[in-house]
Amino acid sequence: MPDLSGLGASARGATARLWPAALVGLGLIGLLGVYVGLDPARGVTFSGSPFSDEGWNALNSRNLVLLGKWATDAWQLQWVHLPYSVLVAGAFSVLGVGIIQLRLVSIVLVGVTAATLAGSLARPLGRGPAVVAGLAFGANALILYYGRLGYLEDLVVAALVAGSVLVLLDGRAPLRSGVAGGLLLAIAIGTKPNAAFSVVGFLLGALLAGAGRDCNARRRFAAAAATIIVAGAAWLVTIAIPNRDAIAVDVNGIWPTVVLPHDLRSLRAALTAFIHGDDQLGALIGPLAIAAIGAVAVIATRWQAMTAERRRLAGAAAGWIVLGLGIIVVARYHPNRYAVPVVPGFAILTAVGLAELLDWLGERAGRTGRRAPGRIASGTIALALVAPGLLAMAGWVAGGASTLPDLQRAYAAEVPAGAAVAGADAPVFLMAARVATIVTGAGPHPPNAGDLYAQAGVRWYLDTEAATPEVATSHPSAWAARERIRCDPWAGVTFCLYRVP
């Protein structure tokens, strides 16, 4: 009879690594799920995106599910956010269309990301540091805020973490791991192109840390890079070229203008502007960044004693942070949500440093005969990283209200199916309605400009109470005869729904 004791021990070891990871992921999903309907807290960012972008991000997906086509007008972000649009459309087709369903997608994604960190890092770093990595990511204030809203960044971090794990850690089948990891990284880049900086950063960081000397690592990296290039070429041929006019509108009209520094003077100006206006990023990720800085000190001291795999992880995390955060720092437009994809890098670097600290404590305990206080160190660091985010979230919850789900139901009941509603926030208020929601006034060169009343037959308008939409100047008599259907507060101002004859 064959000896199966090894298989049993392996299974027990895998279970011991995975159940804490599952608890971390499910705990985060449960925490965010309790507040899934809560409106975004105000004052966390200078940007108004928490009150508008959920509708904009989901617009093309809900169009496909409710209206049978991706787009009804010039707003066609599905081509540049394709993985996210497909994922949300799939969720809407199963769960129905609405803000709760949209946010559930994000909540599950960040929960899976936290569990992936806590589970995958357990073998190279130990269970304690791996769990700290999952907690440091999931309980970071930036993740607790954006991780329950309908944002592209939540898919980006999930794909980045899963892809990096396969490329950095899975040595059983280098080619297969590299291809699978490359596909996930391509999904991250296809969701938000700025994820490419994080990808390049962690690949370069790992190579500089010695990954190039490992044959299997080189094969995984080469396979991942080739897969990303092939995926990009496939998108270019099948999506970008056939839809180049629509994509030009997305890039030039909807995406914010980002101007990078072109010389030392402009670089200094960009750095100064970031320091003086970091959009509260320092407060949101400060505790984790401090822990990562401490980890760098430990890693520098222990570098020669570290395993090649841990050095590779540390280098990858450092490169992830430097390039991923660096592009945000030097860009003129840098709302704090752009830093969400960098949070896993800080968490991984912190976990590597903690693992080395615990090893040093263990070695010291062996010399002195004392028991190493590893659990105390892990628990203290975990508490220091988790507490600030939970306290921040408690403040958001205490001052919050859950109005948007009811608003969406109310506005869907007001507008007849098949109608068209124009307004920058129309996709937010009318997400669940079987109507065309035409975005106006969004982006540096807003799409859908022009006479929507005459050219698109729009008879419904949603705007702030004090605003004067384009129809008021193009067709003043129609606007004068408008009927105000209802008005409701949102994002600190009052929005009104109008019907014109």
In a domain, 242, yes or no: yes
Identify whether the C-beta of residue 490 lies closer than 8 Å to the C-beta of residue 407.
Answer: yes
CA dist list (Å): 114 to 154, 188, 212: 11, 16, 28
Q: Please, which residues bridge with residue 420 across strands?
A: 436
In a domain, 436, yes or no: yes
495 contact partners, CB below 8 Å, separation of at least 6:
425, 429, 462, 463, 464, 465, 487, 488, 489
Question: Can you count the helices (H) and strands (E) in the chain?
Answer: 22, 5
CB burial string 393-430: b at 16+ within 10 A, e below: beebeeebeeebbebbeebbebbeeebbbbbbbbbbbb
- Picking from 398, 433, 464, the residue at the C-terminal end of a domain is 398
Q: Give CA torsion, residues 46, 52, 53, 57, to 10 deg.
A: -170
Q: Please, which residues bridge with residue 460 across strands?
A: 421, 499
Our count of domains for the chain comes to: 2
In a domain, 8, yes or no: no
199 contact partners, CB below 8 Å, separation of at least 6:
160, 163, 185, 188, 189, 228
Does residue 479 sit in the same domain as residue 339?
no
Instruction: Output the pLDDT for position 152.
Output: 97
Does residue 203 sit in the same domain as residue 128?
yes
Tokens of 209: 């840390």
- Picking from 378, 398, 418, the residue at the C-terminal end of a domain is 398
Domain that holds residue 129: 98-398
CATH of the domain at 457: 3.40.190
Does residue 327 sit in the same domain as residue 384?
yes
In a domain, 19, yes or no: no
Does residue 254 sit in the same domain as residue 307?
yes
344 contact partners, CB below 8 Å, separation of at least 6:
113, 117, 137, 157, 160, 161, 164, 320
Does residue 260 sit in the same domain as residue 276?
yes
Give the number of residues written for the chain.
501
Identify whether the C-beta of residue 338 lies closer than 8 Å to the C-beta of residue 284.
Answer: no
- Picking from 381, 398, 415, the residue at the C-terminal end of a domain is 398
Identify whether the C-beta of residue 460 lies closer than 8 Å to the C-beta of residue 415.
Answer: yes
Instruction: Output the pLDDT for position 370.
Output: 46
Does residue 242 sit in the same domain as residue 390?
yes
In a domain, 153, yes or no: yes
Does residue 160 sit in the same domain as residue 243?
yes
In a domain, 206, yes or no: yes
Instruction: Output the pLDDT for position 51.
Output: 95
HSE, CB side, 13 Å, CA atoms: give it for residue 112. 16
pLDDT in tens, the chain (501 residues): 444 344 344 555 566 678 999 999 999 999 999 999 999 999 999 999 999 999 999 999 999 999 999 999 999 999 999 999 999 999 999 999 999 999 999 999 999 999 999 999 999 999 999 999 999 999 999 999 999 999 999 999 999 999 999 999 877 788 899 999 999 999 999 999 999 999 999 999 999 998 878 888 889 999 999 999 999 999 999 999 999 999 999 888 888 877 777 788 888 888 887 877 789 998 999 999 999 999 999 999 999 999 999 999 999 999 999 999 998 888 878 899 999 999 999 999 999 999 999 998 888 776 544 455 667 878 889 899 999 999 999 999 998 899 999 999 999 999 999 999 999 999 999 999 999 999 998 877 888 888 999 988 999 999 998 888 889 999 999 999 999 999 999 999 999 999 999
Tokens of 167: 């490329």
Does residue 456 sit in the same domain as residue 333?
no
In a domain, 306, yes or no: yes
Residue in this structure with the two tokens 């999903």, named with its chain if needed:
29
CB burial string 235-251: b at 16+ within 10 A, e below: beeebbeebeebbebbe
Q: Is 257 exposed, middle or buried (0-12, 13-18, 19+ CB in 10 A)?
A: exposed
Distance, CA of 316 to CA of 204 (rounded, Å): 7
347: helix, coil or strand? helix
In a domain, 352, yes or no: yes
Does residue 205 sit in the same domain as residue 313?
yes
Distance, CA of 384 to CA of 198 (rounded, Å): 26
Does residue 285 sit in the same domain as residue 412?
no
Distance, CA of 151 to CA of 396 (rounded, Å): 18
Does residue 259 sit in the same domain as residue 113?
yes
Does residue 476 sit in the same domain as residue 371?
no
